[in-house]
Amino acid sequence: MNWKVLKTNEDYNKASLRMMELFHSQPNTPEHDELDLLIVLIKDYDEKHYQLPELDALEVIKYKMKERGMKAKDLEPIIGSKGHISAILSGKREITLKMAQKLKNYFNIPAEVFLHSA
């Protein structure tokens, strides 16, 4: 099928169904190329039509800590001293790029969470 930019909900639904059919296609095949294209088209449609709420990085970190039963001191290997941790969690100090990378990897948080908090 010759895919074009998705403009209607019907186009979006057709593309989504086809993407699911192709999901396990083998790399380096026409089907896999079609899958790659559909992913781009669907992402484009989603970005234009659905706005996701912005997440506050500190709230996400606090939620992940609560989820894992962690205390602030448990972040020392990631962030540094107790003072740094306290300043970060209270919002008095910015999360550095290095800290964001470590937190992203440790908590398995999408990097986009940190882009909005800067």
Check: CATH 1.10.260 for 57-115?
A: yes
Confidence of residue 115 (pLDDT cuts 50, 70, 90): confident
Mean pLDDT of the chain: 90
User: Which residues neighbour 56 within 8 Å (Cβ) at sequence distance 6 or greater?
Assistant: 116, 117
Task: Report the pLDDT averaged over residues 45-67.
Answer: 87
Sign of the CA dihedral running 70, 76, 82, 85: negative
Counting beta carbons within 10 angstroms of the beta carbon of residue 108, is it exposed (0 to 12), middle (13 to 18) or buried (19 or more)? exposed
- To the question of pTM greater than 0.85 for the whole model, the response is no
Cα–Cα distance between 42 and 6 in angstroms, integer?
Answer: 7
Distance CA 28, CA 32 (A): 6
The residue extents of the domains of the chain are 9-49, 57-115
pLDDT tens digits along 8-17: 999 999 999 9
